[in-house]
Structure 1
Amino acid sequence: MTPDCPYTALAEALITVTLNELGLSHTPVLTTVIATTAEATRRQFTGSPSIVINGVDPWAHPGGEPGLTCRIHPSPAGLPTPHSLAQALIAAVQDDHRAS
Structure 2
Amino acid sequence: MMHICTERTDLDELIGNQYWSGEHLLFHYGPLAQAMKGGEELILEHCEALSPFMLAKVNFLLGDLFIDDTAEMIRPQEGFRLTLRRSEAIENREQKACAA
CA radius of gyration, larger in: 2
Shorter-chain TM band: under 0.3
Q: Could you tell me the TM-score, scaled by structure 2's length?
A: 0.23
Which structure dedicates a bigger proportion of its chain to strand? 2
